[in-house]
Amino acid sequence: KKLIAAAPSLTSVRIPRAGRDAQPVVLSVRNVSKTFRIGRGQNLTAVDDVSFDVERGRTVSIVGESGSGKSTTARIALRLENPSAGSIQFDGTDITTTRGKELRALRRRFQIVYQNPYASLNPSLRVKDIVAEPLVAFGLGTRSTRPDRVAELLDQVALTPEYLERRPAELSGGQRQRVAIARAIALHPELLVLDEPVSALDVSVQAQILALLDRLQNELNLSYLFISHDLAVVRQISDTVLVMRRGQVVETGSAEDIFDNPQHEYTKELRNAVP
């Protein structure tokens, strides 16, 4: 509670998003469900009939407590996991069953950033090599052949060139997340899934990363699927908010509606947890 009470720095980055023009849909998730077999004859429905659209250049957030199905929904949206039912469209194409080369081609167009950048950054690599990883993976060069691109990516996340030579252990949590974001935008993706990207950070650093994400969205016309258990964070960055509980979407609305005028009892509980 004490920590959250220091949140005024967060509200200072708040950008009003209500009433912005509609944009073309880049990601469309339709009636997606996911059932896991968790034991002999026992099933768990982690995601239950979830539908939403992400418009180009806009942010849809999923908020809900741990275990509500947020990450599974995101992984299905990116085809990192297959749905048990439902469909996914990306840029107008049904990708529910896309495989092989076609799926690999799609992987350039959407990227994911996780909560703990330290876990996803190879500790033995220098920043310049981490940022160049997607270039190498897609045969588009290395940090040696593309030094300008690597420097540009670092600049886009507001890290000075001296960080090129550092390893993850020599960075702060916020700097590591900047490196993870630089890597995520290396291939000019259209959609970023941000799965609890600021949850491991101090509140003041959270505000800096949210401001960075907001700037990059405007500069690069990125679409975000933003995941968080924290309604105070979601409020900063969302156009549309989905409230998930036990695999189901219990309420959908603009960030303003969800925060200022929650309808569902569960949303009110989440809202009341924000000072």
Footprint on this chain of ligand ADP (rule: CB under 6 A): 36, 38, 44, 46, 64, 66-72
Closest approach of Cβ 45 to ligand ADP, in Å?
9
Token pair of 254 as six digits: 């603009």
Q: In this complex, which beta carbon is closest to ligand ADP, that of residue 190 or of residue 195?
A: 195
Residue with tokens 């490196």: 179
Which residues 6+ apart lie within 8 Å of 223 measured at CB?
A: 26, 27, 54, 55, 56, 57, 58, 59, 190, 191, 192, 217
- Per CB under 5 A, which region of 47-55, 68-76, 160-168, 215-223 contacts Mg ion? 68-76
Residue-level length of the chain: 275
Closest approach of Cβ 38 to ligand ADP, in Å?
5
Q: In this complex, which beta carbon is closest to ligand ADP, that of residue 39 or of residue 92?
A: 39
Q: In this complex, which beta carbon is closest to Mg ion, that of residue 28 or of residue 73?
A: 73
Give the whole-angstrom CA distance, residue 100 versus residue 110: 16
Q: Is 175 in the site for Mg ion (CB under 5 A)?
A: no
* CA–CA distances in Å: residue 38 to residues 11, 33, 64, 82, 256: 41, 16, 22, 16, 38
Given ligand ADP, Mg ion, none, residue 115, with its beta carbon under 5 to 8 Å by kind, binds none
Radius of gyration of the chain, Cα coordinates, nearest whole angstrom? 19
Closest approach of Cβ 81 to ligand ADP, in Å?
8
Q: In this complex, which beta carbon is closest to ligand ADP, that of residue 58 or of residue 70?
A: 70
Token pair of 37 as six digits: 């077999």
Q: Is 115 in the site for Mg ion (CB under 5 A)?
A: no
Closest approach of Cβ 167 to ligand ADP, in Å?
29
* β-bridge partners, 226: 61, 194
Q: Is 61 in the site for Mg ion (CB under 5 A)?
A: no
Burial 222-247 (b: 16+ CB within 10 A, else e): bbbbbbbbbbbbbbbbbbbbbbbbeb
Given ligand ADP, Mg ion, none, residue 69, with its beta carbon under 5 to 8 Å by kind, binds ligand ADP
Draw the binding track, 71-100, toward Mg ion (x: CB under 5 A; -: no contact).
x-----------------------------
Closest approach of Cβ 233 to ligand ADP, in Å?
14
Closest approach of Cβ 62 to ligand ADP, in Å?
8
90-99: long-range contacts (C-beta < 8 A, 24 or more apart)? Answer: 90/26, 90/27, 90/28, 90/191, 91/26, 91/190, 92/25
Given Mg ion, ligand ADP, none, residue 72, with its beta carbon under 5 to 8 Å by kind, binds ligand ADP
Binding site for Mg ion (CB under 5 A): 71
